[in-house]
Amino acid sequence: MYPYLADLILILHALFIAFVMLGFFLILIGMFRHWNWIKNLWFRLIHLLAIGFVVAESWWGVICPLTEWESRLREAAGGVGYAESFIEHWLHKIVFYNLPSWVFTVAYTVFGILVLIVWIRVPPRYSRR
């Protein structure tokens, strides 16, 4: 059962990352194409909080809870857990780069700042209901 739960967390983690990355690019595209849905307050707030969480983890030196849970489940199944963060682990596996942790902190921070700039440039629509 542990390997399946670990795989489920891996999928959730990948979906979280996809939401943050694709959401940002869709907001940028929508800014130029004048898509109204990109101004949805809940979508934008959840998106901002998601990247804010990642940036805060990075600055505080905290490993993502999803990474911790997946790693522990893999160890409980008799496998090997992560020795580094989720992104570091998979980036190394996919493109064979082994970068220091501070590079990821800078990348997350810059990305978070870009999200804030876009938030200001294309503010969400506040409903008056």
Report CA Rg, the chain.
17
pLDDT in tens, 13-63: 889 999 999 999 999 999 999 999 999 999 999 999 999 999 999 999 888
- Give the model's pLDDT for residue 75: 86
Average pLDDT over residues 71-84: 79
pLDDT in tens, 58-68: 999 888 898 88
The reported pTM is 0.80
Confidence of residue 78 (pLDDT cuts 50, 70, 90): confident
* Backbone conformation region of residue 82, classed left if phi is above 0, alpha if psi is from -120 to 50, else beta: beta
